[in-house]
Every structure is written in structure tokens, then in C-alpha cells.
Structure 1
Amino acid sequence: MRRTIWALLALALLILGFLLHNRPAAATTGGEVVVLRIDGVIGPATSDFFARELRRAHARQAALLVLAMDTPGGLDTSMRAIIKDILAAPLPIVTWVGPEGARAASAGTYILYASHVAAMAPATNLGAATPVAIGMPGGKPGDDTTRKDKADDNTKERDGNSAGDAAGIGDSMMEKVRNDAAAYLRSLAQLRGRSGDFAERAVREAASLSSEEALAAGVIDLIAADLPELMKKLDGREVKLGDGRTQRLSTAAATVTQIAPDWRMRLLALLSNPQLALVLMMIGIYALFFEFTSPGFGVPGVAGAICLLVALYAFQLLPVNWAGVALLALGAILMLAEAFLPSFGALGVGGIVAFVVGGLFLMDTEAPGFGIPLAFLIGLAIASALVIGAVGSFAARTRRRPIVSGREQMAGTIATVTTVTAEGAWALAQGESWRVRSASPLAPGDRVRITGLDGLTLLVEPLTADPANRRGGSPP
């Protein structure tokens, strides 16, 4: 009997273990589906918006988060921050490239690969995931062969040529960046069971696919024309989360909540514009300079400090080349110095050159949405030079004008003698009574010209009877 009981217990444990091991995936009970809309460049504002809304969706126990995306790409740091949040998300993340005509290029391709479910609308595309370096020599994709050939030719013609070495360094750095990006996208493809072959070509060859081609190649999971169709096609699909749990989606009757970018994201997106940051930096430098040269007003100093701090915060958000920032500041200082130092244009020209070169070094113009056009830089430099020239011209004209206030202004003006005593003489000058001293005898009513000052005593000389010498005199 005892053996039979133990045998039955062992059999029950085996059956229980089998049932537990093969239990069906837990189904989400409809619930709420949160839809985040991301249009435009992937930047610091986008990653901050996604992280905050993901936390909020989890806090209110949403069943699913859908990332509706249309992007030309963006910054690598912001993209990786979003992907880290997706991989560690406590709820399923679906990325849908839509509506029709949208795209998930560059950084968008990485995010699509990282999502638990990848979907696209008809007439959309993804790919072109070749990384673009910022502030790095040889940063343009697709021209490796040309650069290598040029470097080889330079090396053959001039052994040890520095230009060839620089090109070789740039090529090596870009090759490292591409290898890293290819391995990263390939690892995401392996994690989600998607095509690693296209991942490799998207990085190394900037390959792109349409939605139909992507579905046939195993890059995405489904095609849906709009959100209602997406909800129907997601219903019943199983996804595996980062903590090992498997969930079956139940979205056919789910409540869909669409969340648009809030004021915080719009403000961060505005500050993440390098052109605005550049303008704010110039305003801050000029305003602080004006405050230092004309102290006491206060408003330029306060406004300039605010603009400069906001510009530095914007640069901190962006992966800028700080050598470019330093050149921009140097260029602005040199252009300001041109208005006050007798450099005969050398400082001004040097400032314009430093400003334009610094702007070119600041950001890579091929980074989508984050480039600074050369025309913008030249226009801003010319406008700054014109402003500085106008200020310098105004200062020069002011310097040539006669003095109209203070002790120095009294020299040459006319006064009228009012009192003459044994202790000295007094005269009325500009409505004030002054002690006067003269080498010639004075009498009350005499008109005199002020020739200088000795402390609080005016040095004067009598006027002749010539009416031409009486111009500008004060009334007796």
C-alpha cells in the first residue's frame, strides 16, 4: 500500500509539472492600448517623451503600447535610449510605421527591429541605417572606396603625408562605427527572430525595403493600413517580454488612447535645434558684452545670461563637437573686438572665418534634422559683422562729437562776471556761480571765456569787443 501511495504521488507530481510547463500563454484582458505618435527626427525630446509615457502606461496598467512612427532618422544616443526602454519594457511594445507614405529610415529601422511586434502600413519603407558620424573626419557614408583610393595615392606620392594619414584614420573610425552599428542591428534581429541579412545590408549598403518587401523578407511581422486594422491583426498574437513572460494580446475590443506630444517635448524639440542654439549663443555673447561695456542698465546682462545658458543646455542635449563651439565663441569675440581695437579689419575677418569654420565643425550637415546649412552660417556671420560694424561706426562718430557734459565741457564756453571783491571774482557759467581767476583785471558785467579749471576755480580770459567772439554767450 505504501509503495502504491508513493507511486501515485510521483505520478501526480509528473502530471502537475507537465501541465505547468505547457500552460497556455497568459492573455491580456483587453484593457487600454496607448498610442504614441512620433513624427520627425529622433532626438533627445523624443527619447524623453517615450520614456515618460511608457512609465505612465505601465502605471495605469495598459495592455499594450503602440509607437506610431514616421521618421527620417535621428541621433544615435536618443535611438539607443528608446531601444533600451523597449527591451526592458514591462508591457508589449508595437511599432507601426504609418500612415501610408511614412518611413522608418536610419534610427527608425533600429527601433522597428527592437519592438516586440513590427508593423508597417502599405506604401511605407524602412532601411538606410548607415550611421553618420558627427565631427569626425571621413564621416560621410558610402565614400569609403574613394577615400581609401585617395589615401593610397597620397601615400604613394608622398610617403608619410599627413593628409593621407588623416583620411586613413577617418576611414578606420567610420569602419568601426559601421561594424558596431551592424552588430547592434543584427543582435536585435536575432532577439526578435527577424532577418539579419537585411540588417547587415541596411547598415553597410544603406539598403531600403518597401512594406511588402519587408514582410516577404521577414523583417516585419504584419502590414496594417490603419490603427483599427492593426488592432484586429494583433489580437491573439503572442509576445515574449524581457522578463521571460509570454503574453497573448487581446486587442480586438481594446480601448485605444492616442497621446500627442506635450509642451515639454515640443520645448525640448525646439531647444534641440542647433540653429536656434547657435542664434541664442550669439545673442547671449553680444548682450553680455553690451552690459559689460555699458554697466548699470541690467536688462542686456540678464537677457544675455539667460540666452547663453539656454544655448549651452541645448548644446549639452546634442552630440556637438565642442571644438566647434569654442571656434564660434572665438569668432564672436574677435568680431566684437574689431569694433574697439585698431586692427584694420584683421580681427573682424578672422572672427568671421572662425565663426563659419566653427559652425561647420559643430554638427554634421548630413545628420537628418540636425545639420547647420552653410548658407545659414554665412548669413549669420555677415549679419553679425554688419551689426558690429554699425556699433563701431556709431562709437567712432560719438568719439568725434564735442563733449556736452562734465568738467571738460566747460572749456571754451562763455561766462559773465557777477562780483569782484578783494578776495576774488565770481562769474555765472551755465547757470552756476563759480570763482574765476584771470591774468587781466575784471569788472562786474564783463564777459569772459573759460580756458581751463584749477580745482573749483575757473581760469578765464576777457572777451574782446568783437561780436564774433560773443557767439554762444550766456545772458547776463
Structure 2
Amino acid sequence: MIILILMSAGMYVSPGNTAAAANIGSVYVIPVEHQIERGLTSFMKRGFAEAEKMEAGLIVLEINTPGGRVDQADEIGNLIKNTKIPTVAFIRGDAASAGSFIALNADKIVMAEGSMIGAASMVDGMGNPVEDPKMIAWWKSKMASAAESKGRQKEIAQGMTDLKMKVEMPEIGKTKEAGEIIALSPDEALKVGYADKIANSTNEVIEWMGYSTNDVFHMERTFSEKLATFLTSPGVMTLLLFIGIAGVIIEVIVPGFGVPGILGIAAFVLYFFGNSVAGFAGSETWLLFIIGIAMLLMELFVPSFGILGIIGSASLIVGVVRAAYSTSHVALSLGIAAACALVAIIVVAVVFKERGIWNKFILQESLTKEQGYIPIEDRDTLIGLVGTSVTPLRPSGTAEFEGRRFDVVTVGGFIDPGRAVRVLKTDGTRIVVEEVEA
């Protein structure tokens, strides 16, 4: 018996009878690869929008992913459930963790030889099992609901997520015990109803679904999406953060080069651009970045005792963290980049110490006799001169030498005015005299 369901782009023929006439409509193939994160969600939204715009008759999801964020998998699952276009998940490699949830939301599941579906227990950013009962219960119910909506046993889906659960699978002669997790091979998935067919190519899947392989559109990432994928890889992200931190700080503490500042700002722009296109960064992260750079530049010209620099640095750090995939995801990269940048900054500061901004706050000039500076008159030239006491010296007073008057002090005793006195020595500003015979 052939079941026909009228669709806007043609007819959907039950794949139980492949001898039926081919369905009408083009086929839209969307790859579901790498980690499941906001970037993939944005990519999938674009794909489904384009498929609906071109009135495609079938969407094929080519799945090969180790999993990722369950919140993003939930968004993708809603995309699949809400579309009016028939969907088939073709698992070419692994549909692990959140990837299995995406596959369970499709109308049909086809698996290639050597592929896998399952192993969907929740883990945190460090790969450790999540212990929160509420999160586990939520994810377990999501998996069960996706399986039930397509007529599959919900207990198996629950066993993919719950380590403590025991699940009987008589179809394949296995029992999942507590502490184990369910991961099904193609043959096992076919027997328990978690796969509808085993195929080795996308064209085979399309033909099995009753569509022509002559009208197939393979969705590809745009140049900006490919660039974003490259820029958000852990190694490149760490390098960009290193160049950004080192370049900006070097330009601030050793102004005048220009190149470090330009490279630093360019690195930060690439970092925020990549995370923005990938769907990680929002407009607020760009605002924090602009504020941070502006504050650091103002620190060069406005005396703020470091306040503007601190605010600018804090703004940049917050922007970097908010723009990343997750806090734990960026923590390691930011730590490594900051440590390497600190070493580079110290080296530059030592090599170019004569040009550092700290020189603005340190008196560099020394006023010496050799440079012609005499802050206090050199009174050693008075030694041996004979003059006349102007006032009584008891023991201090005033004496006149060569027409100039000086404050003097005697070696001891008193000297009346009008007496002849001779300079014995000088001690700083003190002039020591003694009485001599006229």
C-alpha cells in the first residue's frame, strides 16, 4: 500500500515502496558537522530558510558530529520539527550526544556502515559527567519526546542519556545495565527501530526516499562562515588573543611604534568578527571592544593615573569572555595568551626602556657642574680671604669680603665689629672665620 501525503512542493511517498514514481521537488542537503554550537545553529537556520524559499521537496541532514551544546541542539530540533518539508537524517559517521537528538527529530533515519547513534549522556565543558538531576531529567525527557514523536521506543533514547537506567533490548539480545550507555551500530539501530535503512551514499538515501538525484542542492558554508570556523578554532583563537593583548599593551607602554597597536587591534577585530559570524558574539561584545580600545587610547593622552587603562582593559576582557563559545571554552585560551603576552611585554619593556611611558613620571635630567648647573654658590673660593666683621660675631654675624657681605660663624669666642677676619673653611652654607691681626 502506498501512502501519499500532499505537500506544498509535491508529494511525499512512503519509502516502503521504492518502485513508486519519483516525488516532485528538489532535494536540499545540509551538512551537520563538527561541534554543535551557535555557529551551527545559525548555519542550519539559513539552510532551512533557503530550502523553504526554494520550495524543496526533501531535506537531507548529513550528520557526523561528536555532539555539543544541548541548548543549541534543542533549537535545531525545533527547526526540524516545525518545517513542513519532509526530513531524513543520514548518519555518515557519528550522531553522538546532541547529534543523536537532532537525528531523532527527523522523519526518517538512515545510517551508513560503520556509523553510530547514541552516547548522549550530558557532560560539562571539561568532559566531566553532569550531576545536576534537573538537567539530566530535562535532557532525558527531550530525548524520549523526540523518539516517541517518530514512533520509536522512548526507553532506548532515555538509556542513551541516563547512566543509572537499566534498559532491555530483546531485539538485539542486549541489556543496558547501570553504569553503561547506549550507542547503537547501524544493524542494531535497524533492529530496534532507530534506523529505517542502511545506505552508503546521499544519492542512495535520496532515491530511497523517492526523489530524483538530478535536482539536488548541497548547502555550503559561505566564505565568512568558513573564515569564522577557522578563526574560532582553539589554536587560532589563542594566537589572536596573544597578538591582541601584547600589541595593545606594548603600544600603550612604549608609544610611538604604531605597528604593535595596529596588529593588536586587527587581532581583536578578527577575534570578535569570527565569533560574531559563528553566532557566539552579540552586538554588546563589539560595544565592549570599542569602549576598551577607546579607553586605552585615551590613557595615552589624558592623565588619569591608570584609571582609564584599567577600565579599558576590563572592558576588553569582559568582551572577549562574552564573545566566546563559553566561559570554560575561552578560559584556557585567554590564560595561555595572557601568559605569553606578559613575557613579550616584559622583553619589549626591557629592550626599549628608554622609550617607555614610565619616563613621563620619572625625572631624567641631572643638574651637575659638568652640565653648567650650580644651584648653590661654591663658597670654597672664599677660603683664605681676609675681610672685616660688620656686626659683632657672637659667634655668628655678618662679615664683608671683597665688597660682598656673608653670614659667618667664628671658631669660638666673640669678635667685635670692625675687626679683621679670615675664612678658615666652608661647610655647605656655613662660612667659618677667625680673627687676625690687622
Deviation at 1:121, TM superposition (A): 0.9
Distance in 1, Cα, partners of 2:237 & 2:229: 11
For 1:288, the aligned partner's letter is V
Root mean square deviation, CA, Å: 4.2
Deviation at 1:282, TM superposition (A): 3.5
Q: What residue number does 1:49 align with?
A: 43
Q: What residue number does 2:99 align with?
A: 108
Distance in 2, Cα, partners of 1:300 & 1:44: 32
Distance in 1, Cα, partners of 2:348 & 2:256: 19
8 Å CA contact 1:130, 1:202 repeated in 2: yes
Deviation at 1:208, TM superposition (A): 0.6
Distance in 1, Cα, partners of 2:254 & 2:43: 43
Q: Structure 1: 5+ residue runs without aligned partners?
A: 1-22, 143-170, 236-250, 323-328, 334-357, 400-405, 414-448, 460-476
What is the correspondence of 1:384-463 to structure 2 with a 5 Å cutoff? Answer: 384-395=341-352, 408=365, 450-452=371-373
Distance in 1, Cα, partners of 2:272 & 2:84: 35
* TM-score normalised by L of structure 1: 0.54
8 Å CA contact 1:106, 1:130 repeated in 2: yes
Q: What residue number does 2:185 align with?
A: 210
Distance in 1, Cα, partners of 2:26 & 2:137: 40
Number of aligned residues: 302
Which of 120, 129, 144 aligns to 2:120? It is 129
Alignment CA distance shift 1:191-1:82 (3 Å): same
8 Å CA contact 1:181, 1:203 repeated in 2: yes
Q: What residue number does 2:128 align with?
A: 140
Distance in 2, Cα, partners of 1:80 & 1:94: 17
Deviation at 1:34, TM superposition (A): 1.4
- Higher-Rg structure is 2
What is the correspondence of 1:49-448 to structure 2 with a 5 Å cutoff? Answer: 49-98=43-92, 102-134=93-125, 140-141=128-129, 171=131, 174-205=132-163, 206-235=181-210, 251-252=211-212, 255-295=215-255, 297-308=257-268, 310-311=270-271, 317-318=279-280, 380=337, 383-395=340-352, 408=365
8 Å CA contact 1:72, 1:104 repeated in 2: yes
Secondary structure, counterpart of 2:372 in structure 1: strand
Secondary structure, counterpart of 1:451 in structure 2: coil
Deviation at 1:189, TM superposition (A): 0.9
Distance in 2, Cα, partners of 1:44 & 1:91: 23
Distance in 1, Cα, partners of 2:330 & 2:371: 65
Alignment CA distance shift 1:177-1:407 (3 Å): closer
Secondary structure, counterpart of 2:35 in structure 1: coil
For 2:351, the aligned partner's letter is F
8 Å CA contact 1:121, 1:224 repeated in 2: yes
For 2:50, the aligned partner's letter is R
Distance in 2, Cα, partners of 1:32 & 1:189: 27
Q: Structure 2: 5+ residue runs without aligned partners?
A: 13-22, 164-180, 286-291, 297-320, 357-362, 378-438
Distance in 2, Cα, partners of 1:407 & 1:231: 79
Alignment CA distance shift 1:128-1:85 (3 Å): same
Distance in 1, Cα, partners of 2:29 & 2:274: 28
2:25 maps to 1:31: yes
Alignment CA distance shift 1:364-1:117 (3 Å): farther
Secondary structure, counterpart of 2:247 in structure 1: helix
Distance in 2, Cα, partners of 1:264 & 1:24: 41
For 2:372, the aligned partner's letter is T
Deviation at 1:40, TM superposition (A): 1.9
Q: What residue number does 2:34 align with?
A: 40
8 Å CA contact 1:43, 1:269 repeated in 2: no
Secondary structure, counterpart of 2:95 in structure 1: strand
8 Å CA contact 2:90, 2:112 repeated in 1: yes
Distance in 2, Cα, partners of 1:109 & 1:179: 17
Moved more, 262-271 or 275-284: 275-284
Distance in 2, Cα, partners of 1:127 & 1:199: 8
For 2:346, the aligned partner's letter is G
8 Å CA contact 2:246, 2:345 repeated in 1: no
Distance in 2, Cα, partners of 1:275 & 1:114: 34
Distance in 2, Cα, partners of 1:252 & 1:362: 39
Secondary structure, counterpart of 1:288 in structure 2: helix
Alignment CA distance shift 1:296-1:382 (3 Å): closer
- Structure with bigger helix share is 1
Deviation at 1:383, TM superposition (A): 3.1
